[in-house]
Amino acid sequence: MNDKLKITFFAYLILTIVGAFMKLSDIDFSSVVMSIGIASLVIFIFLSLSEIYQSTRIDGTEKFMWTVGMLLLSFFAGIAYLIWGRKRIITPSLKY
């Protein structure tokens, strides 16, 4: 699995859930795990938006909608981007 976007998204998902369970169980270093999960989310958003804004297949309105979705609803927009949007947006030369 050599896809940085998928790796960062699933790292965000797993680390955030594990960190939340650690926090509920009052285990030490739960905030560190949560922080790494949030950092993975920021990296995912940055990589996604860089792919979106480099694309020539979509117009500015759709780029704006993806930006708002990534910033406000990052979990749902991230899943939608990975499953449906990326195939349509990315050109073969932009794939990381």
Q: What is the pTM of this model?
A: 0.85
* Interatomic CA distance for residues 14 and 93, integer angstroms: 30
Side chain identity, residue 45: I
pLDDT, one tens digit per residue, over 30-76 is 989 999 999 999 999 999 999 999 988 889 999 999 999 999 999 99
pLDDT, one tens digit per residue, over 19-42 is 999 999 988 889 899 999 999 999
pLDDT band at 78 (very low <50, low <70, confident <90, very high): very high
